Each structure stands twice: as structure tokens, then as C-alpha cells.
Chain A
């Protein structure tokens, strides 16, 4: 069952990623990206991270992608003029060679060393909200507080960029 779910979610996610890149309309790209993120939530669930899986749907597929769709629909029509043009054939190798090189490296590595299985047994309740919260407010409290400051700075920055310049408080 795990095998089937892995291949199902993995294929869905790769398909979503590819369609995001290939589709010319930004709106269609965004919808495919939501598809990929929902599939990623399935992968997280398979990796015994149920809390992260739910947050992936809520935060990523929900909040962040709604922000993207909102901006796309506010700004422009579906397809940009520049994306109708084909890429110059001379540039194709420059785009294709780095990913292919990485894939060949990974393939040879797997051929030489085989695959690595999960060996460590998991404690009960691994990845549950309680478990993650205990870590977040215990061992990683400093990181948690720092990321909240980073978010605050991001909010202020986004507001400052979006506002008209002469109305900024320090002008």
C-alpha cells in the first residue's frame, strides 16, 4: 500500500511541477502548482509527518497560492507576450545539461551503492502536533522566536514597498 501511494503521489507531484513549468498561462501554472503541493502533502503523510502534511495544505496550497493567484489576476491577462516566443535553440543545452548531469550522478551513485532503507524505528506519536509543538517550544524555541521576527520584518517590508512613497512615515 505504501508503495502504491508513494508512486501515486510522487507521479502526481512530478506531473504538477512539470506542468507548472510548461504551461504558458500563469493562472494555469499556479493551479498545477497547487496540485503539486497537495501531492506533496501526501508524501509528507507517507513520511510519518501528519502535522506537516496538514500545514502543507493549509499554508502552502491554501494561503500562499491564493496570494499568488490574487496577484496574477490583479496584474495581467493570462499569457505574457514574451512567453509566446520560442527559446533560442542555442540555449537548450545550457538549460538541459545541468539537470541531466545531476541525474546521471545520482543514477551512477545508486547503481554503485544501491538504495538505503529506513532503519531507525520511530517512537509512538512521531510527527504528531504534540511532538512537533514540544520541540518547537522547547529545543528550537530560539529559532521559533527568530522566525517570528523575520516574518514581522517581511510584513513591514511588503507594506513599505506597496505604499505610495510620499506617504511613508519617514519621508
Chain B
């Protein structure tokens, strides 16, 4: 069977759903951030698919933008987690519910 655009889009959807489920299920804040990265990678694939479909390089440019955003998100997210760990000695989101109570 020939590989079509739909195949790539379904692959991206599967990855996004995996990342989404992981974000809900996992309790480790660092792994939750990694699941966000997985979702961003899935959107990158969609950008690449439509760049290919329309023969327009704009999609590639916005994948690069997405790289920058992922890097910024990882840097700030991890800085916040390190600071939380310094104060609370944990990165388990079940233990970090000061705002909930």
C-alpha cells in the first residue's frame, strides 16, 4: 500500500494522543514536561506534512519556530521545577497542591 498524506497525519495524531495521555497519567512533573515535548513533535510532523502537500516551505519555517518555543518551554519549565524541588524536595504533582487546599 502506498504511503499517503493520511498515513502521516494519523501517525501525528497517535503521537499527540500518546503525549496527551502521558501528561494526564504521569505524576512526575519532569516526565509531564517530556510529554508536552512529544505533543510539540507531533504538531511539527503535521507542519511538515502540509508543507509537502502544498509545496510551500513556510511549514518548515514554522517547525523551526516550534523548536525555539520547545527550547524556551523546556528551559523555563525545568528552571521552575528546580526551584520547586529546592523548596519542597519533590517534583511529584500530587504533593504540590498548596494552591488546591
Chain A, interface residues (CB within 8 Å), range? 35 or more
- A34 CA / B61 CA spacing, docked (Å): 22
Enumerate chain A residues within 8 angstroms of B17, measured Cβ to Cβ: 99, 102-103
Enumerate chain B residues within 8 angstroms of A126, measured Cβ to Cβ: 55, 57
Interface of B is mostly: helix
Interface residues in B70-97 (C-beta closer than 8 Å to A): 70-76, 78-83, 85, 90-95
Contact A18 B18 (CB under 8 A): yes
Enumerate chain B residues within 8 angstroms of A81, measured Cβ to Cβ: 92
Interface residues in B1-37 (C-beta closer than 8 Å to A): 1-8, 10-11, 13-15, 17-22, 24-28, 30-31, 33-35, 37
Given A43-B45, A51-B60, A68 and B33 touching (CB < 8 A)? yes
Contact B57 A117 (CB under 8 A): no
Interface residues in A119-137 (C-beta closer than 8 Å to B): 119-123, 126-127, 131-132, 135-136
- A95 CA / B63 CA spacing, docked (Å): 29
Enumerate chain B residues within 8 angstroms of A122, measured Cβ to Cβ: 52, 55
Partner of B82, one of A74, A87, A139: A74
Partner of A64, one of B3, B13, B37: B37
Q: Does A67 contact B (CB under 8 A)?
A: yes
Closest Cβ neighbor of A67 among chain B residues: B74
Contact A83 B4 (CB under 8 A): no
Closest Cβ neighbor of A128 among chain B residues: B57
Interface flags for A53-76 (1: CB within 8 Å of B; 0: not) read: 001100110011001100110111
Contact A76 B91 (CB under 8 A): yes
- A153 CA / B49 CA spacing, docked (Å): 31
Contact B52 A147 (CB under 8 A): no
Interface flags for A1-13 (1: CB within 8 Å of B; 0: not) read: 0110010001001
Enumerate chain A residues within 8 angstroms of B53, measured Cβ to Cβ: 118-120
Contact B91 A127 (CB under 8 A): no
Contact A162 B31 (CB under 8 A): no
Enumerate chain B residues within 8 angstroms of A49, measured Cβ to Cβ: 48, 51-52, 60, 63
- Tell me the A residues contacting B by CB distance below 8 Å: 2-3, 6, 10, 13-14, 17-18, 20-21, 26, 29-30, 33, 36-37, 40, 43-44, 46-49, 51-52, 55-56, 59-60, 63-64, 67-68, 71-72, 74-76, 80-83, 87, 95-96, 98-99, 102-103, 106, 110, 115-123, 126-127, 131-132, 135-136, 139-140, 143-144, 147-148, 150-151, 153-155, 157-159, 161-162
